Amino acid sequence: MTSYRQMRRQTRRARRAGMQPMMVINPDGQFPTLAGVMLARWAWRYRSELAPIFTAGTVFCAAWWAHHARPQWWPYPLVGAAAGAWVLVALARG
């Protein structure tokens, strides 16, 4: 079994000698990657950039559900948001 370093060295020597990388296409090869898999890989790669969008969508869906499931509960989130804002302002002063 060749080590990683040996493989890199052999590849470097082959490239210096003028060999170009090539791709072999076999009829018994794998199927192309599915669009869903490619989308999932893209989302995983950019998960930190997509986190605010996902969070906003989750909050929107939760608010929509709460609005339609319990319309008479509107004072509770209002009081909670006001109390949270007051706490943040109080902590920012110190």
Per-residue confidence (pLDDT) for residue 29, from 0 to 100:
64
Q: Would you give per-residue pLDDT tens digits along the chain (94 residues)?
A: 678 888 888 888 888 888 877 776 666 667 777 899 999 999 999 999 999 999 999 999 999 999 999 999 999 999 999 999 999 999 998 6
pTM: 0.49
Kindly report the CA angle at 36 between 33 and 42, in degrees rounded to 5? 90
Dist CA 51 CA 56 (whole Å):
9
Q: Where are the alpha helices (DSSP H) in 1-94?
A: 4-16, 35-45, 47-69, 75-93
Dist CA 20 CA 42 (whole Å):
29
Name the one residue in this structure whose structure tokens are 């996902």.
54
Per-residue confidence (pLDDT) for residue 16, from 0 to 100:
87
